[in-house]
Amino acid sequence: MTPPPDAAPTRPPLNGAIDVHAHFITPRLRAAMEAAGHGQPDGMPAIPDWSPESALALMDRTGVAAAVLSVSSPGIGFGDPAGTRELARTVNEEGAVVVRTYPGRFGLLASLPLPDVSDALRETHHAFDTLHADGVVLHTHYAGRYLGDALYDPLMAELDRRAAVVLLHPTSPPHAEATSLGWPRPMLEFPFETTRAVTHLILRGVRDRFPAIRFVVPHAGAVLPSVADRLSVFALGVVAESTDVFGALRGFYYDVAGFALPRLLPSLLTLANADRLLYGSDFPFTPGWVAEGLAATLAGSGVLTPEQQALMQRETAAALFPRVASALPGA
C-alpha cells in the first residue's frame, strides 16, 4: 500500500552507523563454495544472495552510512593451497572494486590464505599496500589450528607492526557433524568457536605479545560473558598467576551483530566498556528483514545511553577505520 503524499517517511533506526560486521559474496566466491561442497555453508539452507545494491538498500533502510565488508564462514580455503591463494587474491581484488565503485559506502577486511603463513604474509602486504584494505578477517581456526597457535606468530607480528584491525569470525569446528548434532552450526557452534579462539589468544599470550592489534570479537562476545569468571580462575592454575584475563577481555572490541538483546549486551557490559562496542548487521547471513528488526531493537533499547549509542553506532568505528570515516558525508 502506497502512503499518502503528505505522510512523513519512516526514519531509519540508526544514525549514520558504521557496520563493521557485514559480508559480501561475489559470483567467483559463490562458485568456489559450491564446487567445494559448501552450497549449504555450515549447515545453513543455502548461500544467501548478495549484491552491492541489496546491501546499500538495507543500509539506507537501517541508517547505516558505511559497511566494512568481509568474507564469512567457510571462508576462501577449501583444501588446495594454490586454489586458496588464488581465491584470496581474487576475492580481495573484487572487494576492493566494490569499495572504489561506491565511494564512502564500503570498507574492506581482506581474507588471508591460511593456514600457510607465508602465503598469508604475502597477501597481507598486497591487501594493505596495494588494495588499501581497512583490516583483515581471521577465522577461529584453519585446518584445526586455532588462533593463538604459535604457527601464526609471524603473521601476528606483521599485523602488530601495522596496528591492524582484525575481525574474528567463527567457522565450523573440526568434527562439526558430531558436535552440532545435526543443527546449523551458527546456532550453537559459532558462539563456542569464538569463545574458544579468544580464550586461546589470551592464554597463549597473543594479546600481551602483540598489543597493537585491534581485535574485534563478534556477536556481542559470544559465550565469553558467561564463562569469564570460570576462565579467570582456571587461568591462575593452568597458565600463570600473572595472567590478567579480565584486562585482556577489556582490551578487545566487540561487535553487537546477532541477538545481543535482551540478555547478552548487559552481560557484555560487565566485561567491556561501552566505548568498545561496534555495530554489526551480519548481512546477508542475517536476512535483511531480521537485521532491520535487530537494528530497531538495539536503537530503542535503554541499555545504552544516547552517548553510548553514538559510540557504538559510529564514533568508535570511525577511530578504528579512519579511511572509511573520512569518506562519510560531513567528515
Burial 121-153 (b: 16+ CB within 10 A, else e): bbbbebbbeebebbbbbbbbbbeeebbbbebbb
What contacts 8, CB < 8 A, 6 or more positions away? none
Residue-level pLDDT at 240: 63
Residues of the chain with pLDDT under 50: 1-4, 7
The C-alpha cell of 67 is what?
559497511
Is residue 155 within 8 A of residue 128, CB to CB? The reply is no
Residue-level pLDDT at 9: 60
| Residue (of 319, 286, 260, 329) closest to 135 by Cα position | 319
Cα–Cα distance for residue pair 252/208, rounded to 1 Å: 12
The residues facing 17 across adjacent strands are: 64
Rg (the chain; Cα; Å): 19
Residue-level pLDDT at 123: 98
The C-alpha cell of 218 is what?
563478534
What contacts 140, CB < 8 A, 6 or more positions away? 146, 147, 168, 169, 170, 171, 173, 193, 194, 196, 197
Residue-level pLDDT at 176: 85
Counting every residue written for the chain, the total comes to 331
pTM to 2 decimals? 0.95
Helix (H, G, I), strand (E, B) or coil at 199: helix
Residue-level pLDDT at 327: 86
Is residue 77 within 8 A of residue 123, CB to CB? The reply is no
Residue-level pLDDT at 2: 46
Cα–Cα distance for residue pair 283/72, rounded to 1 Å: 10
Residue 221: other Cβ atoms inside 10 A: 29
